[in-house]
Amino acid sequence: MDDKYKFIDFLGLRFNVANDLSALVAAILVFILVFSLSRKITMKPGKAQNVLEWMIDFTDSIVKSAFPDGSGSRFSLYAFVLFLFIFVSNQLGLIFQIKVDGFTYIKSPTTNPLITMSLALISLMLAHYYSVKKFGFGTYLSNYARPVSFLLPINLLEEFTNFLTLSLRLYGNIFAGEVLLALIGTVAKSFGLVSFVVAIPVEMIWQGFSVFIGAIQAYVFTTLSMVYISRKMERE
Amino acid sequence: MASLLVLGASKIALGDMLFILISFILLSLAVKHYAWGPVTKMMDARSEKISGDLDYADQERARADKLGKEREEALKNSRAEAIEIVNKAKDNGDSQKKAIVADAHSEAETVRTKAKQDAEKAKQDAMQDAQNDIANLSLEIASRVISKELNADDQKSLVDSYIKELTVNNETK
């Protein structure tokens, strides 16, 4: 869309205020969520603890499906935080967006490709790091020529497509959802009261659908991250 | 938005990447310290406790089964023992009864034989006495009735022969 952003240049790096502020808000919301759910940890779980354990079981099942041999338990925390962070980020822009003087300050951080690319980069860096750690650098490199050597260019290309599809899938879904929300918003304002009344249920439906998409995309991103990591850690 | 993706575009907000990375790492650490660590620890402890409880329940059930079997065995044994005791008592009673009856029989027998012997003896004595008396009496009668030519010895032998004849006659009768 035609949003305008404030930029801050600091130490030669450029910061998009809207992205950083939104990501920070999302991170703080995630922390508040798990912090408030984990105040009374007991052997017999209460309601809050049950919710938290349910979420942990959910992300654990994602990790287990990617690592059937059970070696993926060290990625459980990463999957948990990743899932919650992306989920909250996706919903953030649906709940509230803050614009001051035409400049956006709070939105879904995942509507920016740089943010999703950063997250995808974290996942893929983890994958490569643990691959090197497990096989050693030489075997890690030779894994690109497996199972047969002429697949080497395809395997190299796959690394980039993995990165791009992982990040841009999330970005595209969430960005499109918010674009459509904004479009419905402009429709609502276009013909006064009539269009407003018509647009409200449509907006509600699309918001509900976006919540659904946000949850699905968080699940897909976490699942694919785990799959990429587990594929880097096995020899074909 | 597309300009953000083009390399060499005048200004890419690369600081965002760094910001996301740092905030994500900080978020992970905070979540681990405040929520993930305690909860997963408790979950592990719970699963351990549950498996421990299950093992304990299995043990307890096995023990209860064993105890029950022992009880049953003991009950069966005690019943057999009771039957044995009753049988023994019955046998004892029977044998005692038999012994008592046998004793009584033998005693009665001895009493009877003794009585019989006594009676025989008394009869013999009486017969002897009667024989002597009769002999003397008949001797006296005979001496009085018949002549005095017969002396006592002849008389006696006469009477004896007579009595013998009598007894022989009696027995043949």
pLDDT in tens, B96-110: 999 999 999 999 999
> What are the residue ranges in chain A where pLDDT is below 50?
none
Domain assignment of residue B75, yes or no: yes
Q: Which two tokens stand for residue B143?
A: 């001496």
Q: Per the structure, how many domains does chain B have?
A: 1
Closest chain A C-alpha to B19 CA, distance in angstroms: 7
Whole-number percent of chain A with pLDDT over 90: 4
B23 touches chain A (CB under 8 A): yes
pLDDT tens-digit series, residues B110-130:
999 999 999 999 888 888 888
Q: What average pLDDT does range B28-39 have in this prediction?
A: 84
Domain assignment of residue B50, yes or no: yes
Q: Which of A101, A129, A145, A154 is closest to A235 using CA atoms? A: A145
Q: Which of A110, A121, A102 is closest to A25 using CA atoms? A: A110
Domain assignment of residue B17, yes or no: no
B17 touches chain A (CB under 8 A): yes
Closest chain A C-alpha to B62 CA, distance in angstroms: 27
What is the per-residue pLDDT for B13? 67
Q: Which two tokens stand for residue A158?
A: 């796959």
Domain assignment of residue B3, yes or no: no
Domain assignment of residue B117, yes or no: yes
Q: Which of A186, A22, A6 is closest to A96 using CA atoms? A: A22
Nearest CA in chain A to B34: A35
Domain that holds residue B167: 22-172
Query: Are the C-beta atoms of A23 and A112 separated by less than 8 Å?
Result: no
B46 touches chain A (CB under 8 A): yes
